[in-house]
Amino acid sequence: MADQEQGLEGGCACGAVRYRLEAAPMFVHCCHCRDCQRQTGSAFVLNALIETDRLSVLAREPQPISVPTDSGRPHRIFRCPTCQTAVWSEYGGRAALRFVRIGTLDDPTALKPDVHIYARSKLPWLALPADAPAFESYYDAKQLWPAASLERRRAVFGG
């Protein structure tokens, strides 16, 4: 990831919640699963994966909302208490990792997807870019992530 991706700032629609990425994200997902479609009301969601301790809240903490998932695994979406914009998520009860919604960045063009996941449920009219890997479901991070990102992932989850 490029240095310009460190220090990216973003926030909610009303401006009450503000945050900064203190490092480049480890990896960027474009997720086409039905849960993401339902939870966003869109065709997919773009998430920048970053350690929670590398995400600084600059103004007003977003509030976590637990949402049901098809897998039954815990999922919390962190929303602005005022405008209810989703700014990031926590999946599987792993509080050490955040999935920051790229659309909430001040410059959402700063990050592009490294991978498309759950392409089996992508909407049929959506064409995926030829230069980005796509998987029917999930993938093996050890085969796709850069070495530095894998090291950061090990520091968060161990092993």
Q: For the whole model, what pTM was predicted?
A: 0.92
Taking CB atoms within 8 Å and a gap of at least 24, the contacts of 119-127 are: 119/32, 120/32, 121/32, 121/33, 121/34, 121/37, 122/32, 122/43, 122/44, 123/32, 123/37, 123/43, 126/32, 126/43, 126/44
Question: What digits encode the pLDDT tens for the residues 115-138?
Answer: 999 999 999 999 999 999 999 999
Question: What digits encode the pLDDT tens for the residues 7-64?
Answer: 999 999 999 999 999 999 999 999 999 999 999 999 999 999 999 999 999 999 999 9
Question: Any idea what the CATH number is for the domain that residue 79 is in?
Answer: 3.90.1590.10
Structural domains in the chain (count): 1
67 is in which domain, residue-wise? 3-157
